[in-house]
Amino acid sequence: MLKSKTFVKKTRSGGVLKIVREHYLRDDIWCGSEVCTECKDDSPVLQRDAFIQSRLCTYPHYLIPDTNVVLHQIDILEDPVMRNVVILQTVLQEVRHRSAPVYKRIKDAIHEKEKHFYTFTNEHHRETFVEREQGESANDRNDRAIRVAALWYNQHLRKAPCAGELRVVLLTNDQANKEKATEDGLLAYRCEEYIKSLIGNPELVDRLALTSNEQNEITGGRVLFPEHLPLSRIQTGIKNGTFLQGTFRANRDNYLEATVFVHGEGEDGTEVLLQGLQNLNRAVHQDIVAVELFPRERWAAPSAAVLEDDHANDEDAEEEEAEKLESPALETSMLKPTGRVVGIIKRNWRPFCGMLTQSQIKEATRHLFTPADRHIPRIRIETRQASALVGHRIIVAIDGWPRNSRYPNGHFVRNLGGAGDKETETEVLLLEHDVPHQPFSKAVLSFLPRMPWAITEEDLKVRADLRHLCVCSVDPPGCTDIDDALHCRELDNGNLEVGVHIADVSHFIRPGNALDQEAANRGTTVYLCGKRIDMVPELLSSDLCSLRSNVDRLAFSCVWEMNRNAEIIRTHFTKSVINSKASLTYAEAQMRIDDATMNDDITNSLRGLNALAKILKGRRIEKGALTLSSPEVRFHMDSETHDPIDLQTKELKDTNSMVEEFMLLANISVAQKIYEEFSECALLRKHPAPPLSNYDILVKAAKSRDLEIHTDSAKALADSLNAAVLGGFPYFNTLLRILATRCMMQAIYFCSGMDSDFRHYGLASPIYTHFTSPIRRYSDIIVHRLLAVAINADGTYPDLMDKHKQSTLCNNLNYRHKMAQYAQRASVAFHTQLFFKNKGILNEEGFILFVRKNAIIILIAKFGLEGTVFFKNKGKPGPKLSFDSEGPSLTVEDQHTFHMFDKVKVTVTLDASNIQHQKIRMALVEPVIAGVSVAWPEPAAKKPKLDR
């Protein structure tokens, strides 16, 4: 049966376009139930025995949720208890338009066989399709379509001879929809009503999201916040310049302050300062908001106060706001535009990890949840299991934030485990940094090669056979995902042939399939302490793609002919087959190079590579490449408990630099090739030059030691850093380079057709990309595909040549890369806390890295550990302080002045008083300042052994 829809559409030029859409209705769309004999469905999804124990429904039943139930109660629907659910096409389409995250979650539930969720295509079934009536809203039409489909199911299943008492239950929170469904003879319940009737699953009640009416019921009557303007007024205001649109960024150190970043043209933007709860007006970190600017006379400077929201109830903060945010009179240049949030354009709510603060009221069910992320306000939830959740990490979702509530309302989602537990804390940091870490789905795994896998004759016909070459890999100890291998040999003409051979991951991951989509979403492998979250399944990352020794592997090779001065004569790219002769660690490779008695092919290859690498590095530095420093640590783990038992900074050898130089050279060579072939859609990587103001602290630090740092170019900075040496203070130059690293901008991926500035500032290279790590970076897979097309080794596909899609992909890769870095730092911080947990008080020497108004920040070089010595704490009297911002320097009690890079002695302990935010605490020992310094603790005396 064929129906058609006709409507007219106005074109940009002012014309009218008539559009006719055909809509096919069918009789062969099955109900999906095992009890049905009428439908010819070979693999029904809905079970015959669809029994969930319920006081309302004491008989087998299927559930049909309406759109709002799916949108707002997805946490309930994902629970294993909820089975045999019919998701109507009408509902699925509405959810898809209104919330992409919920749509993905409901689709995942439908694909989970154990849940028995069935999609019924009611919009194309002849008996369930409904046309929109004249004067009927789209929402009312969809509600009617849901009721018609539910009624059809009831009548259809009654015809089945073995249906028994099987019924269909409609779940809706819309009172009008519920009443109409009851009039039609349907069983209809509110979601809350049905969930509370379930027997033996009381924890599900905690997961119920509050509706708007319920939120107003549980909050007080006093209006605390201004009303948000409707979207239509906001859009009009943005168009005429009354309002500005931007991203809300909460201040993690001051709950009464935030900024809104208003995007300008290119990378420019404006920050609007918001102060006070009413002006923040219920916006949450990363929401897209509309702000109204205040007149210039109301502009202010950011508050220097550190304020945590630790009030016990709703209203006791407002009176103190003005006093807390008071700041001294400042120069006009320090004032920032101020304003207030008038409306929310797009919420950025996600499930939040944190801990429950149990109410002091006996048998209370409403409690405050404190998120781990300090940018997020506390959330009020209703739960009957508070005593069991105290001391645990839990996940909570926000349901809404009414005007009469000091905090947003939310609901409990799930319990992650005890706070401080290693597995729990790892799960928290992965969730908080949005790292995809779920097991790979069956759909993804289905695209892996079948085992046993081997290189075929067809592969050898289209690849260069380089298995005769003396190729080896050099990596950190324990590395199993080996991306790269190298070789160097002398040619008959006296020149050298150098090859960088990279795992050919793109051979196994074909464009557009589920495996490719998953890798693109993950973007990068995430390396935590003692754990790795792979971008691709382990069969590829640690086996078939990994360039392990003494096995044939597929590679993408970049081969240069060089003279002895490391000058490139010829560059050649080819798909290849290699057989690595050795998988070495950096230390093993260094030992071979240094051992004069070793003269085998592998060792000679390494020596040739090392000699060329030193020339290449010298040439890069001469051009202005920066050699920066960042203290990296390595944990030595207990083999049984996997707890850290030792903590050391990583020692870098010549072989680290050797591998790095050839990876850089390969990346530059490939960047040049793909840009030459595809000027509009090459995926490149750039490192923007920092604004000169970023260098202020570096310049001041050097000046305090009578040294000058030039920052007008990368070359000038590199030369200044090389010359900045102090006699008798060998670590000074490293400290300067650590500080210079903090001044840098983040390197980013971009599409060549969407940008004009390609330069990589840190490497002093006019063009750069990532080619050498496709096992752990998706960017490299795209670059491999571009290079393969450029050398006619593979075919192209539309998305590869679409600069807009490439740019969107780059945005995701930049986000995933940034989150992976943050997750890695969080993992190091957690394992550092574990290390110090049982160490008691340690006494260490350190250097002052930064000087603040009331504190100094110390770097303990041997641990790569930073900590803060506070001279004034909140609510406690402190010593007399005098801060000089020009130095910068801090004078304490007129007895001692601290400068950057001064050597000090401190005690180091773990402060576990706040179980959610444990900290490394440092206290000053030397220099000795009366009333400030602590005594250097004596080592604990050994207890005398008792006579037996």
Provide the pLDDT for residue 801.
Answer: 94
Pair (75, 124) in one structural domain: yes
With bands split at pLDDT 50, 70 and 90, how would you rate the model's confidence at 873?
Answer: low
| Sequential DSSP letters for 103-129 | HHHHHHHHH-GGG-EEEE-GGGBTTT-
| % of the chain at pLDDT higher than 90 | 49
With bands split at pLDDT 50, 70 and 90, how would you rate the model's confidence at 260?
Answer: very high
Provide the pLDDT for residue 322.
Answer: 45
Q: Which residues contact 174 (CB under 8 A, 6 or more apart)?
A: 66, 68, 143
Pair (560, 640) in one structural domain: yes
Tokens found for residue 177: 């929809």
Provide the pLDDT for residue 671.
Answer: 96
Q: Which residues contact 265 (CB under 8 A, 6 or more apart)?
A: none
Task: Give the span between the Cα atoms of 305 and 257, in whole angstroms.
Answer: 10
| Residue 323 resides in a domain | no
| Residue 68 resides in a domain | yes
Task: Give the span between the Cα atoms of 656 and 819, in whole angstroms.
Answer: 25
State the pairing for strand pair 409-418/379-382: parallel
Its domain, for residue 870, covers 839-947
Q: Is 189 helix (H, G, I), strand (E, B) or coil?
A: strand
Average pLDDT over residues 678-685: 95
What are 67-99's pLDDT values in tens digits? Answer: 999 999 999 999 999 999 999 999 999 999 988
Query: Quick one: which H or E segment has residue 835?
Result: helix 803-837
Task: Give the span between the Cα atoms of 913 and 479, in whole angstroms.
Answer: 37
* 376 within 8 A of 186, measured Cβ to Cβ: no
| Residue 148 resides in a domain | yes
Pair (172, 264) in one structural domain: no
* Residues written for the chain: 948
With bands split at pLDDT 50, 70 and 90, how would you rate the model's confidence at 263?
Answer: confident
Pair (70, 181) in one structural domain: yes
Whether pLDDT at 320 is above 70? no
Whether pLDDT at 946 is above 50? no
Closest by CA to 308, choosing from 875, 922, 912, 852, is 875
Provide the pLDDT for residue 941.
Answer: 46
Whether pLDDT at 682 is above 50? yes
Pair (810, 929) in one structural domain: no
What are 17-71's pLDDT values in tens digits? Answer: 777 777 788 888 899 998 888 888 888 899 988 888 888 888 999 999 999 999 9
Higher pLDDT, 92 or 642: 92
With bands split at pLDDT 50, 70 and 90, how would you rate the model's confidence at 304?
Answer: low
Pair (32, 101) in one structural domain: yes
Task: Give the span between the Cα atoms of 592 and 658, in whole angstroms.
Answer: 14
| Residue 538 resides in a domain | yes
Place of tokens 């900074």: 649
Task: Give the span between the Cα atoms of 36 and 44, in whole angstroms.
Answer: 9
Pair (797, 914) in one structural domain: no
Q: Is 316 helix (H, G, I), strand (E, B) or coil?
A: coil
What are 118-147's pLDDT values in tens digits? Answer: 999 999 998 999 888 888 898 999 999 999
| Residue 920 resides in a domain | yes
| Residue 204 resides in a domain | yes
Provide the pLDDT for residue 329.
Answer: 47
Q: Is 84 helix (H, G, I), strand (E, B) or coil?
A: coil
Whether pLDDT at 212 is above 80? no
Pair (785, 858) in one structural domain: no
Mean pLDDT is highest, among 215-224, 756-765, 863-872, 929-938, for: 756-765
Task: Give the span between the Cα atoms of 683 and 426, in whole angstroms.
Answer: 32
Average pLDDT over residues 562-577: 95
Total number of domains in the chain: 4
Provide the pLDDT for residue 335.
Answer: 82
Choosing from 819, 853, 875, the residue where a domain stops is 819
Provide the pLDDT for residue 948.
Answer: 34
What are 472-524's pLDDT values in tens digits? Answer: 999 988 888 999 999 999 999 999 999 999 999 999 999 999 999 999 999 99
φ, ψ of residue 214 in degrees (nearest 5): -65, -35
Mean pLDDT across the chain: 86
φ, ψ of residue 627 in degrees (nearest 5): -110, 100
Task: Give the span between the Cα atoms of 521 and 440, in whole angstroms.
Answer: 12
Place of tokens 């046993």: 452
Provide the pLDDT for residue 844.
Answer: 86
Q: Looking at residue 236, which CATH number applies to its domain?
A: 2.40.50.690
Higher pLDDT, 872 or 365: 365
Pair (558, 598) in one structural domain: yes
With bands split at pLDDT 50, 70 and 90, how would you rate the model's confidence at 343?
Answer: very high
With bands split at pLDDT 50, 70 and 90, how would you rate the model's confidence at 310?
Answer: low
| Residue 176 resides in a domain | yes
Q: Which residues contact 838 (CB under 8 A, 6 or more apart)?
A: none
- The whole-model pTM stands at 0.83
Provide the pLDDT for residue 218.
Answer: 52
Pair (161, 262) in one structural domain: no
Pair (794, 669) in one structural domain: yes
> CA angle, 561 as apex, 559 and 564 as ends, to 5°?
130
Provide the pLDDT for residue 788.
Answer: 96
Q: Which residues contact 268 (CB under 8 A, 6 or more apart)?
A: none
Average pLDDT over residues 299-306: 72
Pair (865, 906) in one structural domain: yes
Among 266-275, 354-363, 666-675, 836-845, whose mean pLDDT is lowest?
266-275
Q: Which residues contact 786 (CB under 8 A, 6 or more apart)?
A: 674, 677, 678, 681, 682, 683, 800
Strand-pair partners of 393 = 417
Rounded (10°) CA dihedral 760, 763, 767, 771: -110
Choosing from 757, 789, 819, the residue where a domain stops is 819
Whether pLDDT at 468 is above 90? yes
Query: Quick one: which H or E segment has residue 398?
Result: strand 392-400
| Residue 63 resides in a domain | yes
Provide the pLDDT for residue 803.
Answer: 93
Higher pLDDT, 665 or 316: 665
Higher pLDDT, 538 or 300: 538
With bands split at pLDDT 50, 70 and 90, how would you rate the model's confidence at 318?
Answer: very low
Average pLDDT over residues 658-686: 95
| % of the chain at pLDDT higher than 70 | 90
* Continuous H helices in 359-453: 386-389, 422-432, 442-445
Provide the pLDDT for residue 243.
Answer: 92
Provide the pLDDT for residue 2.
Answer: 60
Provide the pLDDT for residue 939.
Answer: 53
Average pLDDT over residues 931-948: 55
* 634 within 8 A of 478, measured Cβ to Cβ: no
With bands split at pLDDT 50, 70 and 90, how would you rate the model's confidence at 308?
Answer: low
Q: Looking at residue 941, which CATH number applies to its domain?
A: 2.40.50.140
Place of tokens 């916040």: 225
Q: Looking at residue 151, which CATH number applies to its domain?
A: 3.40.50.1010
